[in-house]
Structure 1
Amino acid sequence: MIQNTRSKTLLACASTALLLGATSASAVTTFTGATSGALVDPTNWSAGLPTRDNPGIIQDAAVTTGGGDLNLMDSTIVTVSGASVWTATGLRFDDNIITFEDSSSLQTTGAVALGRDLVDDTFSVMNWNSTGSFSNSGTPFLVGRKANGTMVQTAGIVEVGDVLIGGNLANETNDGIGLYTLAGGAVETSTLAFQAAGGALDFTVDSTGVVNISNAALGFADATADLQAAIDAGNITIGGQVQTAGDYSGFLITYTAGVGTSIQLSDGSGPVLWAGYEVDDQGNVDTMGWIGTLNVALPDWTYSYSLDNWLYLPESYVTPQGSWMYVTKP
């Protein structure tokens, strides 16, 4: 397996930022709602608007942002906790760390972007640890557009129109890397798309999370082939590791007509596969019209029953177009 180094590097940077942000802060500002529920109003905060050096805390409050406040949370550290409800027309996060905890929720009527505008080496992190919901009325959720963006979900429901990881905007230059780390909870979306060179959906090794893709605009079409292609391309990973092309045994992909396609980690009860072919208890695989039945019990070396001979044929050599192999002399 090949390590997805860019995604893991971004996650490491995000984790470091969380640690530094928490330990270097000299003060905090708490949302009081003294004047209104508007986050943009400094009089609603105990010590003015939040920044990275003056982190904000929103506890059990109903807060709002409007169309002119899209970039309000740039260069800030904010924690939303308790039963807080944040309503917004849309949000753009840059160079910030925002965490949702307890049963807090975020409801928007427009798109939400992590790492939308700033370039250079900045990044935006959203930690969704809440059992509540994040919904955006069927509009896109962009993770990493022009700058780096990281979404870490451990619980709750993220219900958005489209999940676009790495921007996926054909008419713009997207320098940011998008990483969606799923440890738990559910993602409900119409589509899931990646910028080929800069986007990854990473299931943690013990993830209990699930992604449900409706493909509603395409008549709830089966997205299994698209998900398998994304796995092969390294856009869907497990623990930061790119899976062997053609091997989808680490995932459980289920299509339900009229509902959509879901993907989650396999519980290990599914069939063992070799190059996409099912392996029986004796280590045999039936490649059918390709090269017949093989025994793949040994690493790299396979035994061909039809040739009555050993082949040097590592699984990684096998591609949809065929394979190179070495045949021993009889």
Structure 2
Amino acid sequence: MNPKKNTKLLALSSFTLALTALSAHAATTWTGAVDADIDDAANWSNGLPSSSNLGTLDNGDTVEMENRSDLDDKYITVSGGSTILVPSGINGFRWGASEINLIAGGNLDSDYTSSTQMGRNGSATLNMYSGSNASFAANLNVGREHIATVNQFGGTMLIGGTLSVPENASGTANGSTYNLSGGSVTANNLLIDPNSSGTNYFNFTTGSTGSLTIVQGNFDFESLIDDGEIRINDNASSLFADFKVDSSVGGQTTLSLIPEPGTYALFAGVCALSAIMLRRRG
């Protein structure tokens, strides 16, 4: 069997298993019995979410952070039109030792006007699936004292400042990645691996249908690819020729993968089958 096909099947299986696990092991559910404070145990059916007490927020409510570390040690799946809101007036936004999963209709909305730090107080993971949305009013730093990971399978990521993998600061851990399999990412700027360790990078997974847009005309993606800071399937020697750069929209540059020949063949086959069915109906 084609090894690339095996890879895609494995990725699909992992995605399905992940969603099943999230659903099957959820142990505490948001009720909002007291107020909108995400860090008040009284607002959850069985205490605060954690790695051993997985949380579910799926009733369309908007919950709020009141302190900058309210997401620390939280494991939460957000869906069904529900939103985790970070108010603009909060004294910082950082999280660690946590995992946030945004699935269909799940939203993470940060109005905080300075840098968001993933991995500040422990490793942090953000998983995004189709139909989800994440927005940051300013910078998003994927990595700080600890490793941080974004796995985007779908949905929309909007960053009003710089996407940095990781933050350029003393004590920053190495090994952080942004993995894009599907959906769209838009940021005003892109900064990769400022400590030059070679272990932090933006990664297009094999067969990715996602796009990365930087709101700058003719942004220099080629240098980042040549330096191994933007990769395909974790390969530090990925080729610029395997990417498509689109500058047709003024003031922005979009990067995506050139579809594999098999993808074109599949699309052509679907079109041909549709044409046959239409003729038969006629």
TM superposition score category, shorter chain reference: 0.7 to 0.9
The 8 Å contact of residues 203 and 237 in structure 1, kept in 2 or not, is answered as: yes
Alignment correspondent of 1:58: 57
TM superposition shift of 1:61: 3.2
TM superposition shift of 1:268: 5.0
Q: Report the Cα distance in structure 2 between the residues aligned to 1:130 and 1:268, rounded to whole angstroms.
A: 22
Alignment correspondent of 2:101: 99
Residue 255 of structure 2 aligns with an amino acid whose one-letter code is I
The 8 Å contact of residues 207 and 259 in structure 2, kept in 1 or not, is answered as: no
TM superposition shift of 1:259: 2.2
Q: Which aligned pairs between 1:97-176 and structure 2 lie closer than 5 A?
A: 97-110=99-112, 111-118=115-122, 123-137=123-137, 139-160=138-159, 161-169=161-169, 172-176=170-174
For residue 78 of structure 1, the aligned residue among 76, 79, 84 is 76
RMSD between aligned alpha carbons?
Answer: 2.3
Q: Are residue 266 (structure 1) and residue 249 (structure 2) matched? A: no
Q: Which runs of 5+ in 1 are unaligned?
A: 1-14, 216-220, 270-330
TM superposition shift of 1:26: 7.6
- The number of equivalent residue pairs is 233
TM superposition score normalised by structure 2: 0.76
Q: Report the Cα distance in structure 1 between the residues aligned to 2:64 and 2:167, rounded to whole angstroms.
A: 24
TM superposition shift of 1:28: 1.0
1:12-63 deviation digits (Å, cap 9, x = unpaired): xxx9xx97xx59x987111001112221221110111111111111112323
More helix by share: 2
Alignment correspondent of 1:204: 205
The 8 Å contact of residues 213 and 260 in structure 1, kept in 2 or not, is answered as: yes
The 8 Å contact of residues 133 and 155 in structure 2, kept in 1 or not, is answered as: yes
**Which of 180-189 and 249-258 deviates more?**
249-258
For residue 245 of structure 2, the aligned residue among 237, 250, 253 is 253
The 8 Å contact of residues 164 and 192 in structure 2, kept in 1 or not, is answered as: yes
TM superposition shift of 1:101: 0.6
Q: Are residue 236 (structure 1) and residue 230 (structure 2) matched? A: yes
Aligned CA distance change for structure 1 residues 93 and 130 (closer, same or farther; 3 Å): farther
Q: Report the Cα distance in structure 2 between the residues aligned to 1:28 and 1:241, rounded to whole angstroms.
A: 38
The 8 Å contact of residues 26 and 56 in structure 2, kept in 1 or not, is answered as: no
Q: Which runs of 5+ in 2 are unaligned?
A: 1-13, 262-282
Q: Report the Cα distance in structure 2 between the residues aligned to 1:31 and 1:181, rounded to whole angstroms.
A: 29
Residue 81 of structure 2 aligns to a residue whose secondary structure is coil
TM superposition score normalised by structure 1: 0.65
1:96-144 deviation digits (Å, cap 9, x = unpaired): 12101111111111243221234xxxx211101141321122x011111
1:59-116 deviation digits (Å, cap 9, x = unpaired): 12323334x4221222232111111122113632211121011111111112432212
The 8 Å contact of residues 130 and 183 in structure 2, kept in 1 or not, is answered as: no
Q: Which aligned pairs between 1:18-33 and structure 2 lie closer than 5 A?
A: 28-33=27-32
Residue 250 of structure 2 aligns to a residue whose secondary structure is coil
Q: Report the Cα distance in structure 2 between the residues aligned to 1:253 and 1:146, rounded to whole angstroms.
A: 33
Residue 202 of structure 2 aligns with an amino acid whose one-letter code is L
Alignment correspondent of 2:219: 223
Q: Report the Cα distance in structure 2 between the residues aligned to 1:46 and 1:155, rounded to whole angstroms.
A: 29
Residue 262 of structure 1 aligns to a residue whose secondary structure is strand
